Amino acid sequence: MFDILMYLFENYVHSEIELLVDEDELTKELTRAGFHQSAILKALSWLERLAELQEGDTPYLCNHAQHSFRIYTKDEMDKLDVESRGFLLFLEQVKVLSVETREMVIDRVMELDEPALILEDLKWVILMVLFNAPGNESAYEQMEDLIFEQPEGRLHS
């Protein structure tokens, strides 16, 4: 399923080609690209849920204190390793993620059928969430810079 999400993001969203609105046509396109029907349906459902999160009627995404501390469940820790959880905290500290967008990211990660997610895959989920969250254009651009720009020189001496 994650492969399908990446395919859609890279071929439609990130390349600024208009995404096909008709779900049947999109399903046919993905089938021609070699994806299985069951994985296609899961990916489309994942994207629908992401769109629903933007509507803001999910109670746990609202009314968080901006200085709250996130405690991860065992299932979340199984899926997100220490490096990934640290990266989410870093993104909050530098204001790329808000409490709400962090929760959207975690929600979408937990719905992936991957047993665990590596940091590089988490970065793509974050990009997808920020791209779809209204008012987060600047955060999306910052995240793009973090992914695509390689630092010059040594980070540590």
- Which residues, 6+ apart, have CB-to-CB distance to 45 below 8 Å? none
> What is the reported pLDDT for 67?
66
Nearest to 94 by CA among 103, 102, 83: 102
Task: Report, as an integer, the average pLDDT of 32-42.
Answer: 91
111 or 135: which leads in pLDDT? 111
Instruction: Please determine, for residue 142, whether its predicted confidence score (pLDDT) is greater than 80.
Output: yes
* CA gap 27, 35 in Å, rounded: 9
pLDDT (0 to 100) of residue 57: 58
Alpha carbon 157 to its chain's center: 33
List, in order, residues 6 or more apart from 97 with CB less than 8 Å away.
88, 91, 105, 126, 130, 139
What is the pLDDT at residue 20?
A: 46
The pLDDT, as a whole number, for residue 58 is 56
More confident residue, 42 or 13: 42
Does the pLDDT of residue 154 top 60, yes or no?
no
- Tens of pLDDT along 52-85? 877 765 544 555 556 667 899 999 999 999 999 9
Range with lowest mean pLDDT among 15-19, 102-106, 131-135, 139-143 = 15-19
pLDDT tens per residue, range 6-33? 888 877 665 544 554 577 888 888 999 8
Angle among Cα 38, 41, 47 to the nearest 5 degrees reads 145
- Rounded mean pLDDT, 103-125: 93
3-state per-residue secondary structure call for the chain: CHHHHHHHHHHHHCCCCCCCCCHHHHHHHHHHCCCCHHHHHHHHHHHHHHHHHHCCCCHHHCCCCCCCCCCCCHHHHHHECHHHHHHHHHHHHCCCCCHHHHHHHHHHHHCCCCCCECHHHHHHHHHHHHHHCCCCHHHHHHHHHHHHCCCCCCCCC
Whole-prediction pTM: 0.78
